[in-house]
């Protein structure tokens, strides 16, 4: 029984990987869709809080609380970055926004020029992006790091 379940999972993962390998390589998710599928999350993802995991997925898919998203789905919202640069985008936040400059050294550990393909589309890049999100507050509605909660 255990071997049958293991074999079934392995066949499923192989089929999924074959479909993934044959996918069309264009569209807005292409830059982040470079990590082959797996039935199990990495240990780093398992250890990531729900809030950080949510922001990570929003950043990688483009469904985040920033100007580019608002421009398409919430047209009455301001699309400028709080730093004053229009429009606010994932690339702007990760590579240019002065609000996050003090945290960019985290991303540069993986990619000196902060290549979005490397940061969003590799396991090492995603792990580094998690650290950046935890410390910087990037991709939150207000863009500020959460204050640690004081437990009684």
The pLDDT assigned to 3 comes to 85
Residue 18 belongs to some domain of the structure? no
Residue 8 belongs to some domain of the structure? no
Q: What is the mean pLDDT of each run of 10 residues along the chain (152 residues)?
A: 83 82 69 75 87 88 71 71 81 91 96 94 93 90 62 52
Q: Into how many domains does the chain fold?
A: 1
Residue 56 belongs to some domain of the structure? yes
Count Cβ atoms below 10 Å from residue 57 Cβ, excluding itself: 12
The pLDDT assigned to 29 comes to 65
The pLDDT assigned to 125 comes to 94
The pLDDT assigned to 102 comes to 94
**Is the pTM above the cut of 0.85?**
no
Residue 17 belongs to some domain of the structure? no
- Give residues with Cβ within 8 angstroms of 71, minimum separation 6: 77, 79, 87
Residue 130 belongs to some domain of the structure? yes
Residue 114 belongs to some domain of the structure? yes
Residue 110 belongs to some domain of the structure? yes
The pLDDT assigned to 112 comes to 96
The pLDDT assigned to 130 comes to 95
Residue 20 belongs to some domain of the structure? no
Domain that holds residue 62: 44-143
């Amino acid at each position: 029984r255990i071997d049958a379940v293991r074999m079934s999972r392995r066949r499923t993962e192989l089929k999924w990987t074959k479909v993934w390998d044959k996918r069309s390589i264009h569209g807005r998710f292409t830059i982040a869709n470079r990590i082959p599928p797996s039935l199990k999350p990495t240990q780093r993802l398992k250890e990531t809080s729900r809030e950080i995991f949510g922001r990570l997925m929003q950043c990688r898919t483009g469904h985040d609380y920033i100007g580019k998203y608002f421009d398409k789905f919430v047209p009455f919202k301001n699309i400028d970055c709080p730093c004053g640069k229009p429009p606010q985008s994932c690339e702007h936040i990760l590579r240019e926004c002065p609000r996050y400059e003090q945290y960019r050294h985290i991303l540069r550990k993986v990619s000196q020029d902060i290549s979005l393909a490397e940061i969003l589309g590799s396991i090492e890049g995603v792990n580094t992006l998690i650290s950046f999100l935890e410390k910087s507050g990037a991709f939150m509605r207000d863009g500020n790091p959460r204050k640690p909660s004081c437990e009684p």
